Copies of this chain bind each other. A is one copy, B any other.
Amino acid sequence: MMNMKEQLQQDVNIIEDALGKYVPEKDNLQSSIYKAMRYSLLAGGKRLRPVLMIETGKMCGGEVGEILPFACAMEMIHTYSLIHDDLPAMDNDELRRGMPTNHIKFGEAEAILAGDALLNRAFEVVAQNPGKDPARTLKAISILAESSGTEGMIGGQVIDLESEGKRIDADVLKKLHSLKTGAIIRSSCVVGAVLSGAAEEEVRAADEFALNLGIAFQIQDDILDVTGDEASLGKPVGSDADNEKSTYVTLFGMKRAGELSREYTKKAISALEIFGDRAGFLKELTLSLLDRNS
Contacts and interface: CB of A to CB of B under 8 A. Distances in A.
Contact of A150 (B109, B117, B139, B149): B117
A142 B131 CA distance: 14
Interface string A248-259: 000000000000
Contact of A124 (B28, B130, B146): B146
A274 interface: no
Contacts of A146: 124
Given A33-B158, A108-B89, A150-B30, A116 B116 contact: yes
A149 B76 CA distance: 13
A214 interface: no
Interface residues on A, range: 35 or more
Contact of A145 (B30, B107, B124, B137): B124
A26 B137 CA distance: 29
Contacts of A14: none
A142 B158 contact: no
A123 B123 contact: yes
A113 interface: yes
B121 A119 contact: no
Interface of A: 26, 28-30, 32-34, 37, 80, 84, 87, 89-90, 107-110, 112-113, 115-117, 119-121, 123-124, 127-128, 130, 134-135, 137-139, 141-142, 145-146, 148-151, 154-159, 161-162, 172, 175-176, 179
**8 shortest A-B CB distances, which residue pairs?**
A124-B145, A89-B108, A134-B134, A127-B142, A127-B141, A30-B158, A30-B155, A123-B123
